[in-house]
Amino acid sequence: MSLFFAVTTVAILMVMGLLVDGGGALNAANRATSIAQEAARTAGQQLDPAQAIEGTAITIDPDAATGAAQDYLATANVTGNVEITDGGQSITVTVHDTYNTLFAQFVGKGTIHVTGTATAQLHTQAGG
């Protein structure tokens, strides 16, 4: 009877650990994606004023956008990458974060690395 109880207890603890740490990792991944979305939105608001005022083009200012996104990531205590593509019309932010496990640390898995990515695209109608 005691062997059955011991095996059942270990199995229940393993399932509970999987649920807690798995849910925590999913929550951390969702947080990373949310931070990436907000950083991309913040960066997408940094337009190149010289081109916009002249009316030649409306594009993202690469330096200002990268700085704004990195500032947002630093405020959220995460690290990440910022990439501007499509001639200054699109910005992609990738966030890297970790989740410190509660149960999996007992089997040698103390942290789970998560990533979130978001892209913001500049939609404009110049001259219209």
Which position has the token pair 């960066």? 43
End-to-end CA distance of the chain: 80
Distance in angstroms (rounded) separating the CA atoms of residues 30 and 10: 30
Q: What is the pLDDT of residue 74?
A: 97
Q: What is the pLDDT of residue 38?
A: 97
26-71-38-93 Cα dihedral, nearest 10 degrees: -70
**Residue 106 pLDDT > 60:** yes
> What tens digit of pLDDT does each residue of 29-88 get?
999 999 999 999 999 999 888 777 777 778 889 999 999 999 999 999 999 999 999 988
Distance in angstroms (rounded) separating the CA atoms of residues 65 and 84: 9
Distance in angstroms (rounded) separating the CA atoms of residues 60 and 57: 10
Q: What is the pLDDT of residue 23?
A: 93
The DSSP symbol for 104 reads G
Distance in angstroms (rounded) separating the CA atoms of residues 110 and 113: 10
**Residue 110 pLDDT > 60:** yes
Which position has the token pair 């932010």? 93
Q: What is the pLDDT of residue 127?
A: 55
> What tens digit of pLDDT does each residue of 5-23 get?
888 988 888 888 889 999 9
If phi > 0 it is left, if psi is from -120 to 50 it is alpha, else beta; for residue 55 that is left
